[in-house]
Amino acid sequence: MMRKLLAFVAILGLGLALASAWLLHDWQRFVDQPVNPDSELTLWLPSGTSFPALVRQLETLGLASSRHWHWRVWPRLHEPALRAGEYRIERGLRLNELVGVLESGRAVEHRFTIVEGWTTARLRQALAADPRLAQLTREMDEAELMRMLGCEDCPSEGRFLPETYFFTRPGSDQALLTRAFNDMNDALAKAWAQRQPDLPLSSPEELLVLASIIERETGQAAERARVAGVFTRRLQLGMRLQTDPTVIYGMGDDFDGRLLRAHLRIDHPWNTYTRHGLPPTAIALPGRPAIEAAANPQDGTALYFVARGDGSHHFSDTLEEHNRAVNRYIRGRR
């Protein structure tokens, strides 16, 4: 009887040992095999995502099975702390490596570029069309937007610094506008503190207006300070700025792409052909180089400039010389 009992115990022990060895082998195979063997994938984890919820996401991708015992046992052994965000998962990651990424908080970075020379309206259109951003300001008018930014009496034009901004999801248009607004304030404060003495400008806001005109007048980096010098001397002499981009801005939707001589005679607050001084607001979003040029214009004697047609300008000291340049570069081109 004792022999039979010992034999049974030995067989049972062997069976348990074999079962344990098989389970260990099967478990090791599970933890060693890539979760996503074939391709890179992107996972979006909302706040409070649990491991079972992660498994369900993987299940929809055909990469896991919530019914399989491995997926139920694993979190009891490791207690993962998943962090919300959007993650790019490289091909071939094992489960512990994948969870390590989801615990790291190193979410995918997206970028949004505000282009130099855009208007605020164009910026808001681009934000509204971006599906990666939660739309929190789309229905706000200008007054509501600026009140949200803490600048209730400020016009919105020109108040957002052109840069490439990085964000992680969930991002919002409000967060991006707030960053661009604060960055513009910082850029203006720095340029104002480092401006040339005796500029014909009374505030950082006037610096912003002048910088926006410079931004729209030239895309040539080497010309910005020179263009700024022309406008600065005109302001100092009491001459009208006579710059086409301000007229175009004031026309709004009535501008069809062709600026006619008749348009220059239509008086409105932004028409620098009919009015002296700076227009009442900026006309575009100026970048840092244009702001720095407005604060530190180049010395010289030129009071006029005209586009050559290749992106550069011809600068003139006298009206006579300017008229000759206009005949050459504008009328001759026509």
- The answer to whether residue 16 sits within a structural domain is no
Query: What is the pLDDT at residue 54?
Result: 85
**Of the residues 165, 186, 207, which one is the last residue of a structural domain?**
186
pLDDT in tens, 43-82: 888 888 888 888 888 888 877 776 677 777 777 877 888 8
pLDDT: which is higher, 46 or 135: 135
- The answer to whether residue 38 sits within a structural domain is yes
In terms of residue numbers, what domain contains 303? 192-331
- The answer to whether residue 23 sits within a structural domain is no
- The answer to whether residue 236 sits within a structural domain is yes
Same domain, 198 and 309: yes
Same domain, 46 and 137: no
Query: What is the pLDDT at residue 334?
Result: 45
Query: What is the pLDDT at residue 2?
Result: 66
**Of the residues 61, 79, 108, which one is the last residue of a structural domain?**
108
3-state SS assignment for residue 312 = coil
- The answer to whether residue 18 sits within a structural domain is no
Question: Which of 223-232, 252-261, 305-314 has maximum average pLDDT?
Answer: 223-232
Query: What is the pLDDT at residue 42?
Result: 83
- The answer to whether residue 295 sits within a structural domain is yes
Q: Which two tokens stand for residue 296?
A: 């530190």
| Cβ neighbours of 160 (radius 10 Å) | 23
Same domain, 206 and 159: no
Same domain, 237 and 252: yes
- The answer to whether residue 69 sits within a structural domain is yes
pLDDT: which is higher, 218 or 71: 218
Predicted TM-score of the model (pTM):
0.80
Query: What is the pLDDT at residue 23?
Result: 59
Same domain, 200 and 319: yes
Distances in Å between the alpha carbon of 79 and those of 53, 72, 75, 99? 14, 12, 5, 10
- The answer to whether residue 292 sits within a structural domain is yes
Region 24-49: mean pLDDT is 75
pLDDT in tens, 163-195: 999 998 878 999 999 999 999 999 999 999 999
As a whole-number percent, the residues of the chain with pLDDT over 90 amount to 57
In order, the DSSP letters of 150-197 are: T-TTS--TT-S---EEEE-SSEEHHHHHHHHHHHHHHHHHHHHHTPPT
d(CA 164, CA 156): 19
**Of the residues 127, 152, 186, which one is the last residue of a structural domain?**
186
How many domains does the chain contain in total?
3
Specify the CATH number for the domain of residue 86.
3.30.1490.480
Same domain, 311 and 274: yes
Same domain, 178 and 218: no
Same domain, 173 and 302: no
Same domain, 294 and 322: yes
